[in-house]
Amino acid sequence: MEIALSVKGLTKKFGEFTAVDHVSFDVEEGKFFSILGPSGCGKTTLLRMIAGFYRQTEGNIAFSGVDMTNTAPNKRPVNLVFQNLALFPMMNVHENIAFGLRRRGEKSAVIDKKVNELLERVGLPGSGKKQINQLSGGQRQRIAIARCLVLDPSVLLLDEPLGALDAKLREHMKVELKKLQVQVGTTFVYITHDQSEAMMMSDTVAVMNAGHFEQIGTPQELYHNPSSSFVAQFVGNNNKLPVSLRKDGDGQYFARYENGKEFLLLGKQELQEKEAYDLFIRPEAMIINPKEKTASFNTLDVEVKAILFDGGNSRLLVTPQGTDNELVVALPQNRQFDNIKAKDKIQVGWDAATSICYKRENWKLYDEE
């Protein structure tokens, strides 16, 4: 498969501050590639360098194998969809989409044909005469994308385009945007701080932290095999237990929890005794009142603090005995645990293979601030 975009060692410094630090990645043609990271990690700066709006301090950018590191923005085969969409309110839908083609000096008949084709492709045929203020948030979104696609970019850059929408519409547009990308087949490079957006829509996700990429992988790889504490915490819901490590005579590691309980550790990660670690266990990896326990099964006695009912995403909030920590345990959908109530003492357990341990790091996700 051809590489639509190749970025090598891209770096941007603002004075002494390094906003983007030697970032490298390739995006295959026709794929949905997301850059996911908390506010201020450098996503927009990276996107602006790719678009050509910022000059890089170091590094290279190539489109379809052609180096364009120093090419002017309007000569690059990219287009950028902004967070605020930047549609022209005084123009109708047709005029908005036609804008770029007119500037290119295309003939009216060609413009009309292309605009109508694009309106079909984004699922809004016949809406050319509508004013922008007559459109819903989701429709505006599609028009903003149509306005960029009409110029036939080989890569479409999207800067948090769902950011301005309310929660319900965001959910809907995630699915719409994914379908639209598959339908039009254009390579999308999408930036977001919302992990569920990135996970649901992307073929590949790069997780960005403080100017660098922590991990690049499929959503499944990031979820099941996070390569760092940051990724384990930023991608999907995870429980974090502060632990210290002990190695027994056979070289087997155990995680010692603050209430004195020890958990077996499996897995390939490098561990060092006596360092401070965090043990990560996904809510759905935890089994309530486990009956059949494998040889590598860990258990923990907990008290139920609250039932967090949310339909198919219902969970228990529990506190392990002898600690102030709170853990989240997914509730199976078979109503088997309908009888559980607050203050109940229960046991939760997980297979050691489903947990992962990383050295403790002292950063905070901005949601927690």
Which of 190, 254 has the CB closer to ligand ATP?
Answer: 190
Which of 45, 181 has the CB closer to ligand ATP?
Answer: 45
Residue 56: left if φ>0, alpha if ψ -120 to 50, beta else—which one? beta
Q: Which amino acid is at 246?
A: R
Least Å from the CB of residue 241 to ligand ATP: 29
Q: Does 42 bind ligand ATP (CB under 6 A)?
A: yes
CA distances from 68 to 6, 49, 105 (A): 10, 11, 24
Return the half-sphere exposure (C-beta side, CA atoms, 13 A cut-off) of residue 41: 24
Contact letters (x/-) for ligand ATP, 163-202, by CB under 6 A?
A: ------------------------------x---------
Q: List the one residue out of 54, 146, 138 whose CA is nearest residue 93.
A: 146
Contact letters (x/-) for ligand ATP, 206-225, by CB under 6 A?
A: --------------------
Helix or strand holding residue 145 (H, E): helix 137-149
Q: Does 14 bind ligand ATP (CB under 6 A)?
A: yes
Least Å from the CB of residue 25 to ligand ATP: 16
- Please state the three-class secondary structure of 287-352 as a single string: EECCCCCCCCEEEEEEEEEEEECCHHHCEEEEEECCCCCCEEEECCCCCCCCCCCCCCEEEEEEEH
> By CB under 6 A, what part of segment 285-324 binds ligand ATP?
none
Q: Does 272 bind ligand ATP (CB under 6 A)?
A: no
Number of residues that bind ligand ATP (CB under 6 A): 12
Q: Which one of residues 19, 158, 207, 352 is an interface residue with ligand ATP (CB under 6 A)?
A: 19
Q: Does 41 bind ligand ATP (CB under 6 A)?
A: yes
Overall residue count recorded for the chain in this entry: 369
How, if at all, do strands 3-14 and 66-67 pair?
unpaired
Q: Does 39 bind ligand ATP (CB under 6 A)?
A: yes
Q: Does 43 bind ligand ATP (CB under 6 A)?
A: yes
- Please state the three-class secondary structure of 328-344 as a single string: EEECCCCCCCCCCCCCC
Q: Does 84 bind ligand ATP (CB under 6 A)?
A: no
* Contact set with ligand ATP (CB under 6 A): 14, 17, 19, 37, 39-45, 193
